[in-house]
Structures are given as structure tokens and as C-alpha cells.
Chains A and B, each alone.
Chain A
Amino acid sequence: ETGVTQSPTHLIKTRGQQVTLRCSSQSGHNTVSWYQQALGQGPQFIFQYYREEENGRGNFPPRFSGLQFPNYSSELNVNALELDDSALYLCASSYRQGAGGELFFGEGSRLTVL
């Protein structure tokens, strides 16, 4: 167990809707990042939050947004859902900002967009 929990584990939405995914990090982990893992692919980096500020972003449009809270919880919000947003969304936390630190992953939230 990594100590990182995500909710919900599965959900189904329709195109155009909005979704919020939640993550609870390990205590003391001040950095959280989110990844999108399409079926049969490796995870792709969406963005990273450090001390409640976004400080890194992958090649994802602005309709992907996030929040990080002081209690080590965080959210990923996706607006105007598209069919290609169907994927496993992984949250990962670490206590060390920047490269080299081990990431602790949650089990993911599987989103299906119809």
C-alpha cells in the first residue's frame, strides 16, 4: 500500500459533462501530480502541484484543471468531456519537489465517457 487513495474508483459520464476526481496523499507529501493512462498505454503527465500552486504542466488543454489543499488532498477537474478523455487517472504524491523523488501512486479513477 502506498498510502495514496483516490475516489471514485469508477465513473461514467457523457460527452460535454464535467467531472471531479479526488486524491488523498500521504501525510507530509507536499507535491502531487496527476497522470492520464489510456488503455494499453503508459501514463501521461497532466500537471503537478507544489504547496497548492500548479508548477508544471504536460501537453493538456486548460479544461484540465486542479486544486491542492493544505490537508494533503487534491482534485482533478475536467470540463467539456470528450470521448478521448476515457482513461485511468492516476494521482501520485511525493515529499520532494522536483526530479528524483519517488512517486507514490493511487490505484486510479477509471473514467468512461460515452
Chain B
Amino acid sequence: AQTVTQSQPEMSVQEAETVTLSCTYDTSENNYYLFWYKQPPSRQMILVIRQEAYKQQNATENRFSVNFQKAAKSFSLKISDSQLGDTAMYFCASTGGGADGLTFGKGTHLIIQP
């Protein structure tokens, strides 16, 4: 079984600032994948960034990067130069493989203030 914990229910920052969202997970799998998904209000959930556990290098996608600490089972998301359009719910998720689906955390509501 997998668990994903997001300890920040809500965060608010000013536009152009950098913000870090926290996520910890637990898994018994040797190989697994970690994800950050973004769910804007009344919009479809979309993938922000993905990390394969066997890759030590942290994933980056433009303004989004992760800090993957495998031993600590930590997977935080850093958003640089935050924009108003980044306002959304952010979900951390993990999967161990096969057809087990994703295990999601409870989410962090990120608000970017103008």
C-alpha cells in the first residue's frame, strides 16, 4: 500500500515569488513514479511534472522543478516566478506500477496574489 501526505492545506504568495509545496510518501515498491498534478477551478487536472524513482536527477519543466529526496521519501515541488495562472489545487501522487492506479495526497490550494 502507498500513502501520500501533503501537510500544507493552503499557501498564498505574491506574483513572481518562488513557492515550494511539500509532499512525503511511503511505499514498499522498489520502483515507483511520483507526480505533481494541477487542478484549476472547474478545469481538468493536468500533469505538472513526473519523477521516476530510479533516476537520481531531479525533474524540471520550465518554471517547475522537484526536490526528490528518496531516503527521506520526500518529493517537493518548486514553482519559480509564480504567475496568476498557477492558482490551483496541487496534488502529489505516487504509483508503484502495474494497474494499481495513482495514490493522491489531499492537495495544497495555492493562491497567487497580484
User: A: which residues have CB within 8 A of B?
Assistant: 1-2, 4, 33, 35, 40-48, 50, 55-56, 58, 90, 92, 97-100, 102-103, 105-107
Inter-chain CA distance A47–B103, complex, in Å, is 12
Interface centre among A43, A44, A55 (most CB of B within 10 A): A43
Contact indicator A56/B50 (Cβ below 8 Å):
no
Q: Which residue of A lies closest to B4 (CB)?
A: A42
Q: Which residues of B contact A50 (CB under 8 A)?
A: 99
Interface stretch among B11-19, B37-45, B68-76, B78-86?
B37-45
Contact indicator B97/A99 (Cβ below 8 Å):
yes
Q: Which residues of A contact B98 (CB under 8 A)?
A: 56, 98-99
Number of interface residues of B (CB under 8 A): 29
If over half of A's interface residues share one DSSP class (helix, strand or loop), that class is named, otherwise mixed; here it is: loop
Contact indicator A45/B101 (Cβ below 8 Å):
yes
Q: Which residues of A contact B93 (CB under 8 A)?
A: 42
Contact indicator B104/A43 (Cβ below 8 Å):
yes
Contact indicator A43/B91 (Cβ below 8 Å):
yes
The 8 A-B pairs of least Cβ separation, nearest first, read A56-B99, A45-B101, A42-B104, A99-B97, A105-B45, A55-B99, A48-B99, A100-B33
Q: Apart from A42-B107, A45-B102, A47-B101, what are 20 other A-B pairs with CB-CB below 8 Å?
A: A1-B44, A33-B101, A35-B102, A35-B104, A42-B6, A42-B106, A43-B102, A45-B100, A46-B101, A48-B101, A50-B99, A56-B98, A56-B101, A58-B101, A98-B97, A98-B99, A99-B33, A99-B95, A105-B46, A106-B44
Q: Which residue of B lies closest to A43 (CB)?
A: B104
User: B: which residues have CB within 8 A of A?
Assistant: 4, 6, 31-33, 37, 42-47, 50, 52, 91, 93, 95-107
